[in-house]
Every structure is written in structure tokens, then in C-alpha cells.
Structure 1
Amino acid sequence: MRKIKVLFVCMGNICRSPTAEGVFNAFIARRNLSHAFEVDSAGTHAYHVGDAPDLRAQKAARERGIELGHLKARKVGAKDFEIFDHILVMDEENHAILSESCPDGHRHKIRLFLEYAPHLRQTEVPDPYYGGSYGFERVLDLVEAASEGFIEALQREGMLTN
């Protein structure tokens, strides 16, 4: 069975997108679905390439039983548009950046991650980098809800079975 390849994207790949990667991996592991996915994260900018996620993001995730310390930031590359089936972006700005650089035939893969959690009535995962610890908790809450919605959407579309 071909794996579903998912890429989470934010600006620097040290807060939101690695959190989404960690949360989603934990989410699919709890549901015995890890075998069906290949998951990664990246940033639209190269500010932090090679760095581990922000320590505040790691701490907030660890308090929920999710380890992020092994992840390393990287920048989205041209091959990512071909490799990944779903490119889930944290905000409109990064969505626009990716859409501009995306080759024809792959733009349909790029979506705002929170589209999968319409009940939240929010389209963007806010950047917690310049805020306090509450921001990192909020990111976790949002990506947990979107992870559940994304899995449900894949199941509805027949792309994923248990």
C-alpha cells in the first residue's frame, strides 16, 4: 500500500509546523495508522535550517506526551511539491508563498491546515514565537483538532481505511 505523504509548513519550521508534525504523528500512532503515512515539516524561509524546534514548543508538546526534540528545521524544496500528496500550511502568508513557487499541477495539494477544523471558525494557526507560553498551548489545541478533521476527511474520501 502506498503511503499518504503529508508535509506541514510554516515560516521558519521551529514552532507551528514541527508541532503539527509531532501532534499528527502521535495522533496516527494512537490510531494504529502510522504505517499509512509519511510525515514531515518544513518552512518557507531558511532562518532556522538545522535547528531543533523552539524550546517552548518542545516543552508544551512534551507536557502532552509528544517529543519534538529530534526534529530539525528545513526549508521547503522544489521536490516537495512532487513528493508530498498534502501540503498543509499554517497561515495565509505561507500559503501564498508556496502557491507562487509551486509548479503547475501541484497547487491542489496546498491547503490551510485549519480547513480541516471548520468548527473552530479560524483559518490560521497563529505564530506563537513572540508570545508567551499560552500561544504554544493554543497551537497544540488547533493542530490536534485539525489532525482529527484531516483523518476524517481522508476516510470520507476513501483514501484511508483502518
Structure 2
Amino acid sequence: MRKIKVLFVCMGNICRSPTAEGVFNAYIASRNMAHAFDVDSAGTHAYHVGDAPDLRAQKAARDRGVELRHLRARKVKSTDFEAFDHILAMDEENYAILTEACPADHKHKIRLFLEYAPHLQQNEVPDPYYGGAYGFEKVLDLVEAASEGFIDTLQREGMLTN
């Protein structure tokens, strides 16, 4: 069975997208679905390549049982557009950067992650970098909801069976 390849993307790949990667991995592991996925995260900018996620993101995630310290930031590569089935942007700015860089035949793979949580009535996962601890908690809440919605969508569309 071919794995579903998912890439989460924010700007620097040290707050939102590694949090989404960690939360999504924990979500699929808890549902015995980890075997069906390859999951990664990246940034549209190379500000923090090689760095671990922000310590505040790590702490907030760890408090919910999700470990991020093993992750390392990387920049989106041109080969990612072909390699991944789903490229999920955290906000409109990064969505625009991705769609501009993406070859036309792969643009359909790029979506805003929060499209999978329409009940939240919010399009973007806000960047918590310059805010307080609450911002990291909010990011966790949003990516948890979107992770559940994403899996529900894959199952509903027949792309994933459990």
C-alpha cells in the first residue's frame, strides 16, 4: 500500500508546521494509522534551517503528550511539490508563496490546513513566535482540530481506510 505523503508548511518551520507535524503524527499513531503516512514539515524561508522547534512550542506540545525536540527545520524544496500528496500551509502568506513556486500540475496539492476545520471559522493558524504562551496553546488547539478534519476527509473521500 502506497503511503499518503503530507507536508506541513509555515514560514520558518520552528513553530506552527513542526507542531502540526508532531500533533498529526500523534493523532495517526493513536488511531493505528501511522503505517499509512509519511509526514514532514518545512518552511518557505531558510531562517532556521537545522534548528529544533521553538522551546515554547516544544513545551506546549510536550504538556499535551507530543514530543517535538527531535524535529529539525528545513526549507521547502522544489522536489517537495512532486514528492508530497498534500502540502498544507498554515496561513495565506505561505500558501501564496507555495502556489507561486509550485509547478502547475501540482498546485492542486496545496491547501490551507484549517480548511479541514471549517467549524473553527478561521483560515489561518496564527504565528505564535512573538506572542506569549497562549499563542502556542492556540496553535495546538487549531492543529488538533484540523488533523481530525483532515483524516475525516481522507476517509470520506476513500483515500484512507482503517
TM-score after normalising by structure 2: 1.00
Runs of 4+ in 1 over 2 A off after TM superposition: none
The CA distance in 2 between the partners of 1:146 and 1:101, in whole Å, is 24
Q: Hey, what does 2:52 align to over in structure 1?
A: 52
1:130-161 CA-partner distances (Å, limit 9, x unpaired): 00000000000000000000000000000000
The CA distance in 2 between the partners of 1:52 and 1:120, in whole Å, is 29
Aligned residues: 162
1:93-127 CA-partner distances (Å, limit 9, x unpaired): 00000000001100000000000000000000000
2:149 pairs with 1:146 = no
Q: Hey, what does 1:74 align to over in structure 2?
A: 74
Q: Secondary structure at the match of 1:131?
A: coil
Q: Once the 2 structures are TM-superposed, how far is the Cα of residue 90 of structure 1 from its aligned partner?
A: 0.2
Q: Hey, what does 2:5 align to over in structure 1?
A: 5
* 5+ residue gaps, structure 1: none
The CA distance in 2 between the partners of 1:62 and 1:92, in whole Å, is 27
Q: Hey, what does 2:108 align to over in structure 1?
A: 108
The CA distance in 1 between the partners of 2:66 and 2:142, in whole Å, is 15
Q: Secondary structure at the match of 2:53?
A: coil
Q: Percent identity?
A: 84
The CA distance in 2 between the partners of 1:27 and 1:158, in whole Å, is 19
Q: Secondary structure at the match of 2:105?
A: coil
TM-score after normalising by structure 1: 1.00
1:48-90 CA-partner distances (Å, limit 9, x unpaired): 0000000000000000000000000000000000000000000
The CA distance in 2 between the partners of 1:101 and 1:141, in whole Å, is 29
Q: What are the equivalent positions in structure 2 for 1:83-162 lying under 5 Å apart?
A: 83-162=83-162
Q: Secondary structure at the match of 2:76?
A: coil
Matched letter for residue 17 of structure 2: S
Q: Hey, what does 1:36 align to over in structure 2?
A: 36
Coordinate RMSD, CA, aligned: 0.2
